[in-house]
């Protein structure tokens, strides 16, 4: 458990502020594990945790006793994870960083080279869009030149899992006849 520094609270600090701080410190790791177990990508867990504690702040009056907080937070966490997954059905992830890869008109030796480059980028974006988010999260940094160790550290997984995901993407690429 994390200890707080000894300093006087601000003038507008109330018992509800103290309770929220206590809930955050005691249950943050529990909620993080819950969200990861609900297939929320590690890159989005902190944002969802923030949303959960905003909901907790708004509904703090519904909490009868702090001892009953874990089941109450569990339900709020599950609801936020479910809403996250439902939003993903309707939102497409925008793959940023690929627009810079198109050659400028002045740099292209011919219009045919430009056409091939644009078509290649289109095929790559379409292929990446067909991959599952777990595989895509490992493949995009790999294509950007990251090392396997860097990708594993950023995703919080083992290097073997990164190798496996890149291998699955290669197999999919070969299966589609794009390799």
Length of the chain in residues, anyone? Answer: 179
Angstrom distance (rounded) from CA 146 to CA 138: 10
Q: What is the dihedral of CA 105, 127, 94, 110, to 10 degrees?
A: 0
Backbone region of residue 21 per phi and psi (left: phi > 0; alpha: psi in -120 to 50; beta: other values): alpha
Residue-wise pLDDT tens for the chain (179 aa)?
455 555 555 555 577 888 888 888 899 999 999 998 888 888 889 999 999 989 988 888 887 777 888 899 999 999 999 998 888 766 655 555 555 555 554 554 567 777 777 877 888 888 888 888 888 888 888 888 888 898 998 889 999 999 999 999 888 888 876 65
Domain boundary (71, 90, 109) is at: 90
Q: What domain count does the chain have? A: 2
Q: What is the dihedral of CA 103, 173, 154, 43, to 10 degrees?
A: 90
Domain boundary (90, 125, 152) is at: 90
Structure tokens at 129: 């869009």
114 and 83 in a common domain: no
Angstrom distance (rounded) from CA 127 to CA 27: 39
Q: What CATH number is given to the structural domain containing 86?
A: 1.10.1740.10
Is residue 69 a part of any domain in this protein?
yes
134 and 85 in a common domain: no
């Amino acid at each position: 458990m994390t200890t707080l520094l000894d300093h006087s609270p601000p003038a507008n600090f109330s018992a509800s502020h103290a309770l929220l701080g206590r809930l955050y410190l005691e249950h943050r790791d529990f909620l993080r594990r819950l969200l990861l177990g609900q297939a929320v990508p590690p890159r989005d867990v902190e944002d969802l945790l923030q949303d959960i504690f905003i909901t907790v702040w708004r509904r703090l009056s519904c909490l009868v006793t702090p001892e009953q907080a874990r089941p109450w937070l569990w339900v709020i966490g599950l609801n936020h994870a479910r809403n996250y997954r439902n939003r993903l059905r309707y939102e497409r992830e925008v793959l940023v960083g690929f627009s810079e890869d198109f050659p400028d008109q002045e740099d292209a030796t011919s219009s045919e080279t430009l056409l091939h480059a644009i078509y290649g980028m289109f095929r790559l974006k379409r292929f990446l869009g067909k991959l599952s988010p777990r595989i895509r999260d490992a493949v995009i940094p790999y294509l950007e030149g990251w090392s396997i160790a860097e990708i594993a550290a950023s995703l919080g997984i083992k290097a073997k899992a990164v190798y496996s995901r890149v291998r699955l993407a290669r197999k999919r690429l070969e299966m589609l006849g794009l390799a």
